[in-house]
Structure formats: C-alpha cells, structure tokens
Amino acid sequence: MTVLSQHEREWWLERVDAALDGELAAVDHERFLELTEIDPLLADEWALALAMRQTLASEEAPACPARVHAGIEAHVRASLRGERRDRPARRVAPWRGLVAAALVMLVVVLTLQLAPNNPGPATTSTTGVANASVSRATQDVQWALAFVSHVGRDVVSDRNPEGGQ
C-alpha cells in the first residue's frame, strides 16, 4: 500500500475533473483509480464528483406547457397576416411593357424580312401594271424620237429649197 505525500495528493486532487471527463492518459487514469482505492481523501473527492455528476445528469425538467406552443403559433399567424396586409399591390414594372413592345416589333420585322416572295394574284397584277407603264414610256420615247427626226428634216429642206444637201 502506497501512502501519498501531501504534494502528490494535491496533484491528483487537481486531476479529479480530468479523470471525470476522461481526459487523463490511460496510464494516468489507471493510476488515479488505484490511488482512489488506497487514499481516503482522494477516494472521497472522487466519489463526491461522481455523485454530483450522476445527480445533475438525472435532473429532469417538466414538460413544456401547451400554452407555449399555442402562443408561438398565434404570434406567427398574426405576423403572416400582417405581412400580407402590408404588402403593396402587385404592379407590372414599366420596363416590362417596353420590352414586350420591342419584341413585337422585332417579330414583325423578322417576319417581313424572312417571308418568301410568293407569286400570287396581287403580285401578277402589279407586274402587269408595271409592264404597261414601261410599254407606254417606250412608245413615248419612240414618238419623241420620230418627231425630232421629222422636224430635223423640215429644217434642212427649208435651208436648201432646191433639194440639194
């Protein structure tokens, strides 16, 4: 049986909490438990520490009263109702209208650009009108040239009455 010196006892008494929390090295913990078997003061301290831990760990609180859940739930419901009431009316942002208008314009332009030239009745009619115009313009040019030619001949014959050139 080993008798601890005062210094040794104090050293081990300081380590009761470490032993309680399992923070001593395995060798030290084993030595500590051995010493609690032979040193009454250390044994009392260790037993008291264990008793305190066991007693505190077995403390139980009563059940939370139902009024707590009800109170919290009522507050949450009231809060949500308040948030809905205070929320401003939903409005469409002005820029959304501009974007929509731009998109419509883009679709119209692309449709016109990419649409195939479809020969139809309207196109035939337009071509016919154009051809008639061109024909009339050509005739006008011919008449104009003939008139210029005729006038030119008259002028020449007036300058040379004998018919000489």
Partner 1 sequence: MQDQHQRIFALAWHILSDREEAADVTQTVFIRLWNHRFDIDLDRVDAWLVRVARNAAIDAWRRRRTRENVVSTNTEAVERLEGAHHEPTDAGAVSSEFRQRLREAVNTLSEPQRSIVILREIEGYQYDEIGDVLDLPLNTVKVYLHRARRKLREKLRVYSPEVA
CB of 34: closest distance to partner 1 in angstroms? Answer: 19
Task: Report whether 1 contacts 38 (CB < 8 A).
Answer: yes
- In the list 56, 93, 112, 155, the residue contacting partner 1 (rule: CB under 8 A) is 56
Single out the segment in contact with partner 1 by CB under 8 A; choices: 58-66, 87-95, 132-140, 156-164: 58-66
CB of 66: closest distance to partner 1 in angstroms? Answer: 10
Give the C-alpha separation, 28 to 9, whole Å.
14
Alpha helices in the chain (DSSP H): 6-13, 16-20, 26-38, 40-57, 66-86, 94-114, 121-159
Cβ atoms within 10 A of the Cβ of 28, count?
14
Single out the segment in contact with partner 1 by CB under 8 A; choices: 26-34, 68-76, 118-126, 157-165: 68-76
Q: Is 52 in the site for partner 1 (CB under 8 A)?
A: yes
- In the list 27, 59, 87, 114, the residue contacting partner 1 (rule: CB under 8 A) is 59
- Spatial neighbors of 77 by CB under 8 A, at least 6 apart, are none
Closest CA to 4 of 53, 44, 40: 40
- In the list 40, 62, 163, 164, the residue contacting partner 1 (rule: CB under 8 A) is 62
Tell me the C-alpha to C-alpha distance, in Å, between residue 4 and each of 37, 49, 129. Answer: 12, 20, 130
Q: Considering the complex, state which of residue 55 and residue 111 has its C-beta at the smaller distance from partner 1.
A: 55
Q: Considering the complex, state which of residue 72 and residue 134 has its C-beta at the smaller distance from partner 1.
A: 72
Which residues of this chain interact with partner 1, rule CB under 8 A?
16-17, 20, 44-45, 47-57, 59, 61-65, 67-69, 71-72, 75-76, 79
